[in-house]
Amino acid sequence: MLELIPEHRIEDVVYFDLYDSHPPAFNFCKIFNRPGRSREDEVEKTTSEVIEIFKRIFREAWSEKNENYLTNGLKTLLEVGKGNINDIQRLFKDKEYRDYIVGQLKDPQLKQFWKTEFAEKKGRLSPGTESTVSSLAYKLDKFLNKKKLLRAVAQDNCIDFKEILDNNKIVIFRFSKDNMSEDMIKFNGGIAIKLLIVAAFARDKSKWNDVYPVFIDECHNFLSENIKTVMYELRKYGVPFVLMHQVLEQFSEVPGLKEAIYGNVGNKITFTVGWG
């Protein structure tokens, strides 16, 4: 694919390969200050998009308690403006670190969550809290145990995707099934797409006519049912999605995904590329 890029655009390319020795960082726990955008809106949007990724990957093993704890953990790190995926687990399991971070919160609802759910009796958390923390830790460990993944997502810095969109740069993500498990592909691809979505919603109105298409190959690996809302809203921001897949059955993993996509796409192109 890199060979197809014109020579005069080479300096505009951001190429992400998890197995590169120095991959670009993308940290979903970091928010950029945007003129005209409230930090509260950025926190809500980023949190909801990341939660969708975990729900999609863990499906039957996901619970409302998981979602509640992870939502509050993400919002806490986003509000304070410190941390990465490593620190989510640390927030739940390290009391000293938790007290340090929670002490910087201003949001009364977040403060109340930590005060209520993580109140200790005789130096121990409640059985319900310990059970939920263990459940989340198990799920997070699927990614935290991957050193190559941490080189990219466990850094405090992050690619500014809005800067990429505003300056019409070319960003390419390579997720190879030869080197990565299916869950790793879904997680990394999901994070990349979600960060692009959040950046798209932050685009200045003056940029909405500068169309920035996003091409997603094997799209069924990365999308959830909420793509219906996303596709509808992104149109006015000038960030259309070009979704590519092979057969309709690939959408059956996620209930309602096929209907969400085919009820919202403006054009459908079908090719017959083989027989048998």
pLDDT at 198: 83
pLDDT along the chain (276 residues), means of 10: 88 86 75 69 84 84 92 92 84 93 94 91 86 91 76 74 90 83 82 84 87 89 75 83 84 76 78 65
Count the domains in the chain: 1
Q: What is the DSSP letter of 183?
A: H
pLDDT at 94: 92
Residue 137 to residue 92: CA distance in whole angstroms: 9
pLDDT at 13: 92
Question: Taking the alpha carbons of 12, 14, 15, 19 in that order, is the dihedral positive or negative?
Answer: positive
pLDDT at 180: 78
Has residue 86 been placed in a domain? yes
Residue 188 to residue 30: CA distance in whole angstroms: 16
Has residue 186 been placed in a domain? yes
pLDDT at 108: 94
Has residue 133 been placed in a domain? yes
Of 266, 214, 205, 267, which Cα lies nearest the Cα of 236? 205
In the block, tokens 């409230």 appear at 38
pLDDT at 75: 93
Contact 78, 47 (CB under 8 A): yes
pLDDT at 67: 94
Residues 6+ apart with CB under 8 A from 18: 148, 149, 151, 152, 174, 175, 179, 180, 188
Half-sphere exposure of 251 (CA within 13 A, CB side): 19
Residue 194 to residue 230: CA distance in whole angstroms: 10
Has residue 275 been placed in a domain? no
* Strand locations in the chain (E): 13-17, 170-174, 214-216, 241-243
Which tokens belong to 267? 């054009």
pLDDT at 274: 62
Has residue 216 been placed in a domain? no
Has residue 182 been placed in a domain? yes
Of 166, 165, 151, which Cα lies nearest the Cα of 24? 151
pLDDT at 68: 94
Has residue 274 been placed in a domain? no
Of 224, 273, 232, 230, which Cα lies nearest the Cα of 253? 224
pLDDT at 11: 92
**Is the overall model pTM greater than 0.85, yes or no?**
no
Residue 144's domain comprises 6-202
Has residue 266 been placed in a domain? no
